[in-house]
Amino acid sequence: MIVKNEEHTLENCLTSIKGIPDEIIIVDTGSTDRTKEIARKWTPHVYDFEWIDDFSAARNASFQYATKDYILWLDADDIVEHDQVTKLKQLKDSLSENIDAISMKYLMYDNAQKIVISYTTRLRLVKRNKGFKWKGLVHEDLSINDSYTCLNSEISITHTKTSPTPSNNRRNIEIYERQLKKGYKFNISDMYHYARECKVHKKYETAIQYFEKCKNHPEISLENNMFIHHQLATCYVMVKQPEKELELTLQSLALDVPYPAFSCRMGEHFLRTGHIEAAIFWYKAAYTQSLPERYAWSVADQAYHTWLPHQQLALCYQALGDQKEAQFHEKQAKHYQNDQKKKVDL
């Protein structure tokens, strides 16, 4: 783990995995609170790392201290829920030495809304002697210049999103901006994540500039390319260019099977123009069209294939005077919203 000023979250994280790891390694990047004091209650392996605006450098330093066969990484605001602890213990007891890496689902949980807002899949457990390295200034990823065997597990890790302080809220984008001023040359992954940070901070013009550089780039996977089209469409709407939203939506349909977000965008387009039957077709496609398994590795927003299309279908059927169908979809929308209000047992 790498940590900084995590006194409010670290104990919960470590408690959730108690008894699973054979050693716990915590690298502190400059805490000024009780983080290191809490860490030392759990492990003697607490080390300092001079912060250099590079998350990968810090994570790679933490990996160098590992001595066991496999390395599991966590953030201080991650937890392993009780039902997942059992799965993780079973994996540890049965893991074949022929497996080099294990992927796990990553659930983004919003504490304020009490719902899982998005999810993805990430490499979470890797064999130490394979030499996996972290790359990327922020939103770093594990990579390796060699082939490796991967087990895609059903285990999930939950990222508990707390209300950020003003400094933490701007931390990532400020890292990118400082590096740009120093003349650091962004690779395509840096551009992609910088664009996402700009969108979060409502710097839509800059986000558009960098998303456009990433769109259709050969190093970007098809799944992430679809996500980029989605993010670009949102940015163009925010700068009052709705025609670009429709253009990007149509482009996405030429790339792959309909992405739920774009099915909803098509539904919204037809709803705005009064073509209710066409809107119904696309909103139904949003939750009935299954995506290929490879999309598990891209970011998926729960809303677009669960409660949102049902909510909009209720509006469509109300417009047609079909109260029975409208009520059915209202109930479905509430069902999904309640289902996503999943309580994380800390």
pLDDT tens, residue by residue, 22-70? 999 999 999 999 999 999 999 999 999 999 999 999 999 999 999 999 9
> pTM of whole model > 0.75?
yes
Which percentage of the chain shows pLDDT scores above 90? 86
Which residues in 148-181 are b (16+ Cβ under 10 Å) and which e?
eeeeebebbbbbbeeeeeeeeeeebbebbeebee
284 or 339: whose pLDDT is higher? 284
Check residue 294 and give its pLDDT: 84
pLDDT in tens, 122-154: 999 999 999 999 999 999 999 999 999 999 999
Give the pLDDT confidence score for residue 115 in this predicted structure: 74
pLDDT in tens, 189-228: 999 999 999 999 999 999 999 999 999 999 999 999 999 9
Mean pLDDT value across the chain: 93
Top pLDDT among 346 and 120 is at 120
- How many Cβ atoms from other residues are within 10 Å of residue 238's Cβ? 15
What's residue 344's pLDDT?
Answer: 42
CATH numbers and ranges of domains, the chain: 2-161 (3.90.550.10), 164-256 (1.25.40.10), 257-340 (1.25.40)
pLDDT at 346 over 60: no
From residue 130, alpha-carbon distances to 124, 142, 144, 252, 344 in Å are 14, 12, 8, 37, 34
Summarize pLDDT for 305-322 with one digit per residue, the tens: 999 999 999 999 999 999
